[in-house]
Amino acid sequence: MQNYFVTAIGTNSGKTLVSSILVDALQADYWKPIQSGTEDIDAVTIEENLNNNFSIIHPSKYLLKLPASPHAAAKAEGLTIELSDFELPETTNNLVIEGAGGVLVPINDKGDVVIDLALRFNCEVILVADLYLGSINHTLLTCNELGRRNIPIKGIIFNGEPNTASEEIILKLTGLKCLLRINKMNKIDTFEIKKYAIKLMENFY
């Protein structure tokens, strides 16, 4: 069984959408270690779009009220997050772990960041890149940081309006495999999740 860590080049890049597709494609369990903001809880979105009876949604270690970086959201509640607080959920299944924000979002004031969780749990990363003006730079910076930390990247998933020029140069300069391209979606639904899950499995292995 394999642990996959879903991270992105920034906030609102499509990590939860991609996590939904991965959970469906791999019949995997899901876990979001840190949830900041309780108005839209990502685990609820995943559960609403499950297409199987096998996947388990594991509860977040931290469910923080403030929609902010984990270190600030925890501080607002008088908490301090430590890397040692986290242990993998017990499962014999593949596990999809969703990060919070981008790779260098701080989880405390000591310098620990979200992507340190991928290192802690020996995960392979799936990188989500939405395509906007500046996304090439943000994607390359993210890949450089993952490489600097010796974190393996399974591949990249492009999300949003297609931009062939941006996609081609990102793939050329990073050497990454494109696992999937997702068109802009106004709403996540089970039909779209299943459609993209089938496409994902064509490129995943």
Please give the positions annotated as active site: 32
Q: Which amino acid is at 34?
A: I
Q: Which helix (H) or strand (E) holds 113?
A: none
> What CA–CA distance (Å, rounded) separates 106 from 164?
32
Residues listed for the chain: 205
CA dihedral (68, 61, 146, 194) positive or negative? negative
Angle CA(9)–CA(164)–CA(15) in degrees, nearest 5? 30
Amino acid at 79: L
- Dihedral of CA 85/94/15/113: which sign? positive
